[in-house]
Structure formats: C-alpha cells, structure tokens
Amino acid sequence: MPVLPKIILKQGKEKPILRGHPWVFSGAVARAEGELSPGEIGEVYSGDGTFLGMGQFNPHSQIILRLLTRTKEVLDSSFFKQRLLQAHTLRKKEFLGKTNAYRVVNGEGDFLPGLVVDRYGETFVMQCLTAGMEKLKGLFIDLLVSLFRPQSIYERSDIPTRKEEGLPEAKGLLYGEDIPEPVEIEEQGCRFRADVKNGQKTGFYLDQRENRFLVQSISQGRKVLDCFCYTGGFSVHAGLGRAREITLIDSSEEALKRVEDHFILNRLDKIPFRLIKGDAFDVMRILEPEYDLIILDPPPFAKKKGHLPGASRGYKDLNLQALRLLKRDSLLFTFTCSHHMNWDLFQKIVFGAAVDAGKMVQLLARRGHPLDHPVDLSHPEGEYLRGMVLRVL
C-alpha cells in the first residue's frame, strides 16, 4: 500500500472513534503527517500510535476526517462497490412491487459518509455533500450505472451544507437521458409526480413513506387537516383511505397546483378537498375546531443548535393550535425534522401544548425514518425525523 497522509489525535480523543463514531473533529487532532488535501483518503491514529481507521480528509472543515473503514485496506472501486451492494441488499426485498421510489444510499447510515442517492423509477438523484464524495463522484456514477442501469443520474448537490466543505452548490444531469418533468412514481397504490430538478430535497419526501401508509390506514370517515402539505403526499393517502373531507395548507402556490394534479392522477375527485394558500400558523388560528385528524409536518425550525429556543416556541404554538382544532377522540400526527430537536425535548414541548390546550392526550406511537433511511447506531446525528401519533380524548 502507498504511504498515506495521516492525523494523530490528542491523548484521550480516540474514545469516540473506538465507540464507533465516524467523525473526527479538527480540535481532536494533535498533528498531521503528509499533505491533507480536501477529499484525500488517509489514516487516523491515537496519541499512542494505535491505528484507528481510514477515511476522507477535509482540512477546511470542522469535521477533518470522515471514517470509511477501521481496517487497513485498499479503498478502491471494489471497496465502494461492496458498500453499494450492502446498501442494495437492505432495500431490494422490501421495495419490490411496493414502490419504485426510495433511498438507495443514506450517507453515514450506509457507511458512505456524504453520499446520498435516491431512486425515482429509472432516474437516480445523487447528492455529494462532502469533499471526499465530490472527489469520488465519477467513480460512483460508473458504479451506479453498472449495478442498476438507470436511464439517468441527476445531481442535486444544491444545498448550503456544501459551503461548509468549501464546495459550491451544484446541480445538473450527470449521466444518460434528459429528465422528464416531472418524474412519475408509484407508492403502494398511489401515484405521484416528483420534481427531481427543482423540488424540495431530491424531489419528494421519501422519508415520510411509512407515515403516509399509516395515515391511509386510519383515515376512513375522518375530516383531515394537512398542514405544510407540500404536494399533498399525506392527503393523497388519506383520500385513498376514504377520508370524509380534506383541507390542505401550504405557502407555495406551485405546491398546491401539484396537489390538484395528484388528486386527479389518483382519481380522488369524489373526496371533497380545500386548498388554502398561506402561513399555517396564521391559517390555523381562524379555522373552526372540527377535525378528526391533523398532520403537522413543518420544515425544520432549528437548523443550528442556537435556534432551539425559538424553534421550541414555534413547535409549541403549532401543536397548541392543532390540539385546539381537534374534536374528541381524534388523532394528531406531529413531526419535527430539526436535527437538534431530540425526542425528549420534542415530547416535552407537545406535552406543554396539551396542558395549555386543556386536552387529555395519549401517545400511541413514535414514528421516524423508514427502512431505506438507516442510521448508524454510533452516529445519532444521522437521526433527524421524529414524530408522534397522539390521540386526543
């Protein structure tokens, strides 16, 4: 093996890696040997010289190394091919015949830090979030083509976190045929049109799939309020679950147009529905308390740890308004996708909202990521979607 650049950690700073965490922060490094170029593969050692693993460097980032393996080995095309096959093994049986849209690679959760790949039928969407994965972009395009034979691979690395890696935002066709606008997908009996070029995330909220299925199973006869509805994923499932009536709120006129398209596409013309363009916080204050099921799936309120106090107030107000609008023996699906909002704090916030609303509430279930969004158990930062199903008495 060639001589690789390396970092040697300060005494005692190896403990997180020994416990399985895949990140090394710059403050833990005592010294470096060799040139640490962004995206370059190198090694990490403890202060006493013990080999700890190999990964990808970025000296310009607070996370100076993202671990790929804990053994000395050649990190070539064969290595990364095996990681992709390992990820594929998890998905292939679960999604065959159920959906043609799912996450193929989930970064650290699939032991490929900084790489996200989503599948929308025969179109693959790739995000390279780190300097290491940016450097290997061409390799992964070749591997995805050889393993999956997609018609197209489109890049959606147009997210602000790239700047923290010293990378510009990027988007565009990487391989194959031009992408149709939009891309039609199927999800257990539902049809959607995903905007992979310009839509939220990589075109659709794949991480809410299992929660949409649950909404469909309990919607029959219920009057539903879908807040922050985006293109109506939850509501289409509620409609197919024979909801009595559906009200949808979103601030985007374009998203609400897509809602109408999805209702037509799924032949839900017999389900009465109402679209309201506006801020959900404002709209909910003027609605009457007549709903049997409310879905709260807002954008992240706390993108940084310092945002938590304000985010907590926002989540409490939102859940307070929802609880006010729910009838007796009704259900609330409430979510947060703020990385820094842990389970304990989120539950305390919703509990406080229930107290202020004067409602007795049962916690029926906690909900989170679906199977195609695995989280490395030693990397809790990879968990971001938290939700609760509540019954209001």
> In this predicted structure, what is the pLDDT of residue 97?
76
Predicted local confidence at residue 130, as pLDDT: 97
- How does pLDDT run across 182-205, given as a tens digit for each residue? 999 999 889 999 999 999 999 999
Q: Which of 190, 227, 229, 337 is catalytic?
A: 337
pLDDT in tens, 248-288: 999 999 999 999 999 999 999 899 999 999 999 999 999 99
Residue 270 CB-density burial (10 A; 0-12 exposed, 13-18 middle, 19+ buried): exposed
Mean pLDDT of 48-63: 96
pLDDT for 238 beyond 80: yes
Query: Rounded to two decimals, what is the model's pTM?
Result: 0.94
Of 96-105, 168-177, 298-307, 353-362, the least confident: 298-307
Residues in contact with 56: Cβ distance below 8 Å, sequence separation at least 6, in sequence order: 39, 40, 41, 42, 65, 66, 68, 113, 114, 130, 131, 132, 133, 135
> How far apart are the C-alpha atoms of 137 and 145, rounded to whole Å?
12
pLDDT confidence tier of residue 366, bands split at 50, 70 and 90: very high
- pLDDT recorded at residue 1: 64
The reply to whether 229 belongs to the active site is no
pLDDT surpassing 80 at residue 2: no
Cβ atoms within 10 Å of 353's Cβ, excluding its own? 23
The lowest-confidence range among 90-104, 160-174, 225-239, 259-273 is: 90-104
| Beta strand spans in the chain (E) | 6-9, 23-25, 29-33, 41-45, 51-57, 63-69, 101-106, 115-120, 123-128, 152-157, 170-176, 183-187, 190-194, 223-227, 245-250, 273-277, 291-296, 326-336, 361-367, 386-392
The mean predicted confidence, pLDDT, of the chain is 95
Mean pLDDT of 37-62: 96
Each residue's pLDDT tens digit, 78-92: 999 999 999 999 999
Domains of the chain (ranges; CATH) run 6-69 (2.30.130.10), 77-183 (3.30.750.80), 205-392 (3.40.50.150)
- How much is the average pLDDT of 210-231? 97
Q: What is the mean pLDDT of residues 127-133?
A: 97
